[in-house]
Amino acid sequence: MNNETLLRLLIREELGRNIRSIPDVDAMQNWRHLDGIDAQVTADPSSGGWHVKISTADGKVSLPLKYFSDENSANFWAREQVMKIQRKLLAKRSAG
């Protein structure tokens, strides 16, 4: 096997590995589409930051608008809050 053939095999292997490791749907984004919970993460071009607003459809939970300097922090915080709210709602449904 010559060097060019070996190099092609290595590149093909690496590309194949990377392509297969990319998920079809970003599982971390599923928190945005939970029934009864509205989570909005929006860019604020005037400040270069991000705003997060979370509320429930029944109006029982409404977190104040929160500002973040970067999108990753905003998404992380929003996801954590949505998961907490979902756990509380599920606990109430199963208890009553």
The 3-state secondary structure of 19-79, one letter per residue:
HHHCCCCCHHHHHHHCCCEEEEEEEECCCCEEEEEEEECCCCCEEEEEEECCHHHHHHHHH
Tell me: pLDDT of 90 over 80.
yes
* pLDDT 10s digits, 65-83: 999 999 999 999 999 999 9
* pLDDT 10s digits, 2-47: 888 877 877 777 665 555 554 445 555 578 888 889 999 999 999 9
pTM for this prediction: 0.67
C-alpha triplet 45, 35, 59: angle, nearest 5°: 75
